[in-house]
Amino acid sequence: MIKVTQLAKQIPGGPTVLSDVSFEIQRGEFVAIKGASGSGKSMLLRCLALREKWNSGTYVVDGISIFDKGLAGKLKLRREMAYLEEKPTLLHNRTVLKNVLIGASHQTPLWRRLTGRIRSDDHMGAMDMIEKRGLLDKAGMTADKLSGGEKQRVAIARALVHGAKTLLIDEPVSGLDPHTAEQVLTDLKGMCQSQGVTIIAVIHQGDWAERYADRILGLNSGKLVLDIKGRRLTEREKQLL
């Protein structure tokens, strides 16, 4: 479904941060990217999310090369492959529900957006997504009162309401307490298994990737040094990263 071949990225006038990166990812897989600080994890995610241009290599999604997609195709792809930064951008003085509904606005006629009248389908869809993220009791709360993990989950709900089929998430559990991290990862894994959502997440710290991911991609100095099933890494594999 996602096929990357020999991807290379050089910062203009600067270092090469990704080189010869090749892998394939199937729909519904939960893939974790591991690697030391500066190894190129975020850059790879940003390239996959079409937030960064790369210098060479091919990138094919559902059998179609990114280069063969027109502007409309690329915009659709950016909606279907949602990029979630480490600290999600939410409207702090708006409720959880409103923040999630923003994701549905591309399907909402302009007059409804201007008058603020929400379609009952959109409302129910958003509430359903909020409930699935375990945030039903917070739906009416403003985003500034949420914890880091709750904000992540609102951003995930918003992306799914927006029609995302793939989530590209930078550090979904960094800074979370173990209990919340487990909740977030269990939720993500459930999405892959029950809804076929594909997840590619930078998860470097601890053994979260080993415990939750179907696959682990490992980067070292911009090179792919590991591509294995999700399992406990051997000492030799740890040393590669």
Binding site for ligand ATP (CB under 6 A): 11, 14, 17, 35, 37-43, 204
Q: Considering the complex, what minimum distance in angstroms separates the CB of residue 224 from ligand ATP?
A: 13
Q: Considering the complex, what minimum distance in angstroms separates the CB of residue 54 from ligand ATP?
A: 12
Nearer to ligand ATP, 14 or 116 (CB): 14
The CA distance from 202 to 185, in Å, is 12
Classified as helix, coil or strand, 52 is: coil
Phi then psi for 199, rounded to 5 degrees? -125, 130
Amino acid identity, position 35:
G
Nearer to ligand ATP, 18 or 61 (CB): 18
Q: Considering the complex, what minimum distance in angstroms separates the CB of residue 209 from ligand ATP?
A: 13
Task: Compute the residue count for the chain.
Answer: 241
Question: Closest by alpha carbon to 84, among 5, 149, 1?
Answer: 149
The CA distance from 95 to 158, in Å, is 12
Nearer to ligand ATP, 10 or 107 (CB): 10
Give the strand pairing for 64-65 and 30-35.
Answer: unpaired
Classified as helix, coil or strand, 226 is: strand
Q: Considering the complex, what minimum distance in angstroms separates the CB of residue 124 from ligand ATP?
A: 38
Nearer to ligand ATP, 43 or 154 (CB): 43
Q: Considering the complex, what minimum distance in angstroms separates the CB of residue 35 from ligand ATP?
A: 5
Nearer to ligand ATP, 37 or 93 (CB): 37
